[in-house]
Structure 1
Amino acid sequence: MSIITDLGDKISMVDLHDLFVPERTGSYILHEEQPSIIETSASPSIPHLLNGLEQLEIQPEEIQYIIVTHIHLDHAGGVGVLLEHCPNATVVVHPRGARHIANPTKLIQGARAVYGDQFDRLFDPIKPVPEDRIITMKDSEQLRLSEDRVLTFYDTPGHAKHHFSIHDSVSNGMFTGDTIGVRYAQIADEHEFILPSTSPNQFNPDSMIQSMQRIKGLGVSRIFFGHYGVSEDPENVYRQINYFLPIFMDRGRKVEQEDEEQSSSEKAERLYELLIESAASHLVDRKVSDDHPVYQLLEVDLKVCAQGIIDYLEKNKSKQ
């Protein structure tokens, strides 16, 4: 049985067990006469999503739109597989991402470079989406799902250039994907802990802050994260990104200055050590034990974050 959370406002969240762990990636079901889905995660998660639809008594044939905030495989890798079960659905994607879900060759190559030997277990299979079943939404374009529910799409780069965030008129919530970080639901009862997601290869810290300021300026009431769940305190989300992102960048510059002769992978490994140290210090101060399961996810995330920061700094050496 899939884990389903009723979030109110005719929104349900299905736990997709991304990376084969709970509370990692969620798919949001918008309950209208023709339901729509936001986020699919990777292909191994699709059975959880289909089971969630069954529990909600939604037939896959009823799905109108499958919306992905961006095309990284932990958010959109399963869209081709899901579409095979949803014959009447249309996929909604950022204009920069459409050609990559139609032909995912470069997506696969990029993910293999990051995840190495783990790629097949985490992401296979990745199936192309027919071009005639894709639509794109430009900045500030709207999609009406019902008389009451309108989705507005905002171009929000920083984590990736092919990223939009989606405002929901019913909940006054924003589906932010990875734009303003990862929420570690495993410790949310003790402390709502949010870190920026700085994965390669389009991470840009300035764009991330600008996107966050844009979301803040819209006065949203709720933040729906790709990873994982909903925050009812957007101001706390903004505070944590404003706190941690400069720390991440300062640690990255420190590593760059330590030994410019090191390889990128060596720099990323050193930076990971500094990032996990910073996160652990924050959690210890908040009485989270050092053997808490959240550290398993932090290890995965911060290794990828370190790669993205080093990639950014190496591409922008003249600006440092």
Structure 2
Amino acid sequence: MSEAHGIHTIDTGFHRPQFDAAYLVVESGRAAFIDCGLNSSVPRLMAALAEAQVAPDAVDWLILTHVHLDHAGGTGLLLQQLPNARLLVHPRGARHMIDPSKLIAGASAVYGADEVTRTYGELQPVDPARVTEAVDGYAVDLAGRELLCLDAPGHARHHIVIFDQRSGCFFTGDTFGLSYRELDSARGAFILPTSTPVQFEPEPLKASIARMLSYQPAGMYLTHFGRVEPPARLAEDLVEQIDAMVAIAGAASALAGQARHAALCAGLEQLYADRAEAHGCEPTRKDVIAILSMDIELNAQGLGVWIDREAGA
């Protein structure tokens, strides 16, 4: 799907329609991908490139917001199709693209080894000579168009966000939360934070959101899913929910094991269903919880990891 300013939204095909996006940014015949989905997403990305009438050798960059596999699993395979492209990734994530073994092990711990193999396939390593580390403030020059990379912890410590000077928008990965089109209402987009394990940190996440707002962006391009606005209202919604999620974690922290996880899931279900109802979302409470079931499970897992980390601090 092509939008203004040469930005193309690509549905990677992961999980369900309009769940996981990659972006193609085209400027004066040159191009950059931002995130890439899975190995199985690569044909979709190459088809989008052809539709935009850009040759594979005119792609200069693949920029990863972070190295979670729904964003970065297809990196090695995609770069095999793009002879001149370099990989731009957070310094903490670069080694995992060069040697994906620890990345696979981490995902297997969350999802199970069989599920990781079935969903993501065999990750292809990236030649270290093709990797550039995106330190805070690194600026990509895409045919004269600046793409500014900012360190953005909170969801993951290997996360960057990318400010596109031309459109005035951020590509936010997961730092600016999740927003599914099924939950849009007359008030606009419904948004929620993601505390996917294992590096959720509420105060750094709020600081990252505030830093993005300081650029007065026109819109936010989320991996899950698509462009949303207005940023200021959505940021307020996110911060309120981050604080509410911390409170839910605090209430459950005295519990252990499955009892704690069940309490976290129940608290998140109520939080999101109540807010969706207040937002005027069309789906019923039951359907909202069903749409968000994967996110509720992963957010609960992430809060559990955070509780344990705080207790050991």
User: 1:284 — aligned with what?
Assistant: 277
Contact in 2 for aligned 1:23/1:186 (Cα 8 Å) = no
Q: Does the 8 Å CA contact 1:35/1:65 hold for their aligned counterparts?
A: yes
SS of 2:148's equivalent?
strand
- Which runs of 5 or more structure 2 residues have no equivalent in the other structure? none
Describe the superposition over 1:196-238 as per-residue Cα deviations: whole angstroms up to 9, x where unpaired.
Answer: 1111111100100111111111211111111111113101221
Give the SS at the match of 2:91: coil
Match of 2:135 among 127, 134, 138: 138
Identity of aligned residues (%): 30
1:25 and 2:20 equivalent? yes
User: How far apart in 1 are the matches of 2:286 and 2:79?
Assistant: 37
User: Which residue matches 1:108?
Assistant: 104
User: Does the CA-based 8 Å contact 2:183-2:281 persist in structure 1?
Assistant: no
Show structure 1 runs of 5+ residues with no match: none
1:1-320 superposed matches below 5 A = 4=1, 6-19=2-15, 21-32=16-27, 33-116=29-112, 117-147=114-144, 149-190=145-186, 191-257=188-254, 259=255, 262-263=256-257, 265-285=258-278, 286-290=280-284, 295-317=289-311
| Rounded Cα–Cα distance in structure 2 between residues aligned with 1:188 and 1:53 | 29
When residues 287 and 131 of structure 1 are mapped into structure 2, their CA distance, relative to the original with a 3 A threshold, is: closer
1:146 offset after TM fit, Å? 1.7
CA–CA distance in structure 1, aligned partners of residues 60 and 289 of structure 2: 38
Task: Give TM-score scaled by structure 2 length.
Answer: 0.93
- 1:300 CA drift (Å): 0.6
Task: Write the distance in 1 (CA, Å) between the matches of 2:227 and 2:274.
Answer: 25
Counterpart-to-counterpart distance in 2, 1:297 and 1:234? 23
For residues 129 and 192 of structure 1, what CA distance do their matches in structure 2 show? 36
Q: Which runs of 4+ in 1 moved over 3 A?
A: 291-297
**More displaced stretch, 248-257 vs 68-77:** 248-257
Given that 1:269 and 1:303 are in contact with CA atoms closer than 8 Å, whether structure 2 keeps it comes out as no
Q: TM-score, normalised by structure 1?
A: 0.91
AA aligned to 1:270 is A
- Compute the displacement of 1:292 (Å): 7.8
CA distance in 1, matches of 2:304, 2:263: 10
Q: Following the alignment from structure 1 to structure 2, what is the Cα–Cα distance between the partners of residues 111 and 86?
A: 26
Q: 1:273 to 1:134 in 2, by over 3 A?
A: same
Deviates more, 1:62-71 or 1:265-274: 265-274
Q: Is the 8 A contact 1:221 1:234 kept in 2?
A: yes
Report the residue type matching 1:66 in the other structure.
L
Deviation at 1:141, TM superposition (A): 1.8
* Cα distance between partner residues in 2 of 1:266 and 1:127: 39
Quick one: distance in 2 between partners of 1:297 and 1:22? 12
Provide the C-alpha distance between the structure 2 equivalents of 1:298 and 1:287, rounded to a whole number of angstroms: 13
Q: What is the identity, as a one-letter code, of the residue corresponding to 2:73?
A: G
Q: What CA RMSD, in Å, does the superposition of the two structures yield over aligned residues? A: 1.7
Partner amino acid, structure 1, of 2:308: E
The alpha-carbon deviation at position 110 of structure 1 amounts to: 0.8
Q: Secondary structure at the match of 2:92?
A: coil
> Is the 2:273–2:285 contact (alpha carbons within 8 Å) kept by the matching residues of 1?
no
